[in-house]
Amino acid sequence: MPQRIDRTGMRFGRLIVRRLVEVNKYHQAKWECICDCGNVTIVHYSNLHTGTSKSCGCLKSELNIKRNTKHGLSGRYDKDRRIYVIWIHMRSRCLNESDIDYAHYGGRGIKICEEWSDYAVFYKWAKEKGYNQELTIERIDNDGNYEPTNCRWATRKEQARNRRSNPQFTFNGKTKTIPDWAEEMNISYSALRTRLHDGWSIEKALTTPIKNNRNEVI
């Protein structure tokens, strides 16, 4: 049997091959590919070779949206392509089991409301709720779904503070994340995080003066 060609790194449409996943009993190869939109998908080489598979599915969705768009949305879509990419990634995280982030979203029950299956509806909401190029979509309740009442546009700093993995600490009757406490107490975030990681109490970590290498309080 001739040696199989390594397809790693090859491009087919929007797909770039990352690794060989398996070869079935008929010697047909399946390759893991990453799409230009960021999604990961598994594709038979025959579909790559013949051009049957050119993307993770986003290309078909994009063409359908352009074909079905009304009232001038198509032109605005070209201008605000980032909104469309955000919509595609949101859907992939919740619906595509091959997506690298699926376990943290669809895998734990996070859903997308039915009305947002229509890109035009999502686009209208995004523009009305203050979308701009510097913001990302954030769920207010991290255990809640993607829906108008639970989503907003936030800076990356604001979104980082709302992560499930971001622990909260209570001091003087107030509960805040490490970044929030660092900002309120005018303490370096890295220093505060290190102190807490080393087992300091939140009170000691927040009230002990920080010194530089010359033992001067800063």
Tell me the pLDDT of the chain (218 aa) as tens digits.
556 788 888 888 888 888 898 888 878 889 999 887 777 888 988 888 888 888 887 776 666 655 555 444 444 445 678 888 889 889 888 888 777 778 888 888 999 999 998 888 999 999 999 998 888 898 888 889 999 999 999 886 666 666 555 677 888 888 877 777 877 788 877 778 788 888 899 999 889 887 654 333 33
Residues 6+ apart with CB under 8 A from 183: none
pLDDT number for residue 2 = 57
Give me the amino acid identity at 89: H
Record the pTM: 0.47
Rounded Cα distance, 25 and 22, in Å = 10
Q: What pLDDT shows up at residue 61?
A: 63
Asked whether the beta carbons of 63 and 57 are under 8 A apart, the reply is no
Q: Which pLDDT value is given to residue 169? A: 83
pLDDT at 192: 83
Using alpha carbons only, what angle is made at residue 140 by residues 137 and 141, rounded to the nearest 5 degrees?
125
Q: What is the pLDDT of residue 149?
A: 94
The predicted pLDDT at position 145 comes to 94
Nearest by Cα to 125 from 67, 86, 74 = 86
The two tokens of residue 60 are 């078909």
Residues facing 136 on adjacent strands: 154
Q: Where are the alpha helices (DSSP H) in the chain?
A: 45-50, 58-68, 73-79, 81-95, 119-128, 156-161, 178-185, 189-197, 202-207
C-alpha span between 39 and 36 (Å, rounded): 7
CA dihedral 152, 158, 160, 161 (to 10 degrees): -110
Q: What is the pLDDT of residue 41?
A: 87
Q: What is the CA radius of gyration of the chain?
A: 23
